[in-house]
């Protein structure tokens, strides 16, 4: 069935396949080969070290794939590094433009204390949240001047993790170039109701990460006080869209009727089968959901 929305996938199941983080051409070549065979048409921009946009574009094209919004993060909790982040996001934005993409996700870097105790707002610091918001807005403004829009991506383990922090950042940056790029899974794991936040900031939603949460696994990981990597790797908090606790019908209904942003599948660590089997299940979810297979008028 033909998809009528802009959809893509992040090849993280391959990049994180050995329990670590391996981003190189060989891994991407393997991932893209599988994803193209499964039926995906777009893959997120994940440039390996030393790889430029032209080479990455050729790699995508070699697998009949095209580029989709990537992800940028920086230590926004450190005010004296905001200038560094601004310069870095300009390079990130220009790489996107060279690959024909004019939007992306932006997040605060992960923090050790939150990776050790994920999804509970460990060490919440209101003043730090304001500093983060200031840095995110400055970076988004710089990127917008280059021609690329960025949406806030709340991330478990980062300085923008719990709902209070998400709302503080969005409220304090209202009117700026910072959009909202909700990740349904990260919001839910950290205790928020994903569709509520999407509804409350619907006019700022730029793109969406479609991620699902195994609620039982998340509860168990929290009770055992597991760190982020144990919770996601061993306990498998993440699961394929449609198999977990996220009410995707409600999330999608909360979006504006004219929403035309990207939907990016993310299952960092497969909950079922191999990376290819997991990715196939995610694509099947899209193909079976009327939101992704009908036009605004309702006809296929």
DSSP 235-268: S--EE-TTSSS--HHHHHHHS-TT---EEEE--S
CB 67 within 8 A of CB 43: yes
The string over 183-218, giving b where at least 16 C-beta atoms fall within 10 Å of a residue's C-beta and e elsewhere, is bbbbbbbbebbbbebbebbeebbbbbbbbbbbeebb
- Please report, for residues 42, 54, 164, 278, the alpha-carbon distance to residue 99 in angstroms, rounded to integers and kept in the order given: 12, 8, 35, 27
**Burial (Cβ within 10 Å: 0-12, 13-18, ≥19) of residue 79:** middle
CB neighbourhood size of 157 (10 A): 27
Closest CA relative to residue 254, chosen from 192, 171, 299: 192
**What is the rounded distance in angstroms from the CA atom of residue 137 to the CA atom of residue 175?**
10
Best CA proximity match to 136, nearest among 103, 90, 169, 184: 169
C-alpha 89/C-alpha 273 separation (Å) is 36
Put simply, whether the predicted model's pTM sits higher than 0.95 gets the answer: yes
CA separation for the pair 38, 266 (Å, rounded): 15
Q: Identify the three-state secondary structure at position 24.
A: coil
Q: How many Å is the Cα radius of gyration of the chain?
A: 18
Question: Tens digit of pLDDT per residue, the chain (300 long)?
Answer: 789 999 999 999 999 976 689 999 999 999 999 999 999 999 999 999 999 999 999 999 999 999 999 999 999 999 999 999 999 999 999 999 999 999 999 999 999 999 999 999 999 999 999 999 999 999 999 999 999 999 999 999 999 999 999 999 999 999 999 999 999 999 999 999 999 999 999 999 999 999 999 999 999 999 999 999 999 999 999 999 999 999 999 999 999 999 999 999 999 999 999 999 999 999 999 999 999 998 754 444
Superfamily for 6-22+41-269?
Divalent-metal-dependent TIM barrel enzymes (3.20.20.150)
How many Å apart are CA 263 and CA 243, to the nearest integer? 17
Distance of CA 25 to the CA centre of its chain: 21
Task: Return the structure tokens found at 55.
Answer: 């080479």
pLDDT of 255: 98
């Amino acid at each position: 069935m033909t998809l009528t929305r802009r959809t893509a996938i992040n090849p993280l199941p391959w990049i994180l396949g050995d329990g670590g983080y391996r981003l190189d051409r060989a891994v991407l070549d393997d991932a893209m080969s599988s994803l193209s065979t499964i039926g995906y048409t777009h893959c997120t921009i994940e440039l390996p070290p030393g790889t430029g946009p032209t080479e990455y574009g050729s790699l995508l094209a070699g697998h009949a794939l095209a580029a989709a919004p990537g992800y940028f993060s920086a230590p926004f909790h450190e005010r004296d590094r905001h200038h560094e982040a601004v310069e870095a996001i300009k390079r990130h934005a220009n790489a996107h433009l060279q690959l024909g993409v004019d939007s992306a996700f932006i997040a605060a870097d992960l923090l050790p204390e939150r990776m050790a105790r994920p999804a509970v707002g460990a060490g919440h610091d209101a003043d730090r949240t304001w500093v983060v918001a200031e840095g995110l807005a400055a970076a988004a403004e710089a990127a917008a001047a280059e021609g690329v829009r960025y949406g806030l991506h709340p991330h478990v383990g980062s300085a923008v993790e719990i709902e209070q922090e998400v709302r503080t950042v969005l409220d304090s940056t209202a009117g700026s170039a910072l959009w909202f790029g909700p990740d349904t899974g990260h919001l839910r794991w950290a205790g928020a109701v994903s569709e509520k936040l999407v509804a409350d900031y619907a006019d700022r939603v730029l793109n969406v990460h479609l991620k699902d949460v195994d609620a039982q696994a998340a509860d168990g990981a929290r009770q055992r006080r597991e760190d982020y990597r144990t919770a996601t790797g061993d306990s498998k908090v993440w699961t394929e869209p449609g198999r977990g606790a996220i009410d995707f019908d409600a999330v999608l209904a909360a979006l504006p009727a004219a929403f035309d942003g990207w939907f990016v599948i993310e299952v960092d660590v497969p909950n079922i089968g191999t990376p290819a089997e997991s990715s196939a299940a995610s694509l099947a979810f899209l193909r079976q959901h009327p939101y992704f297979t009908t036009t605004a008028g309702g006809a296929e």
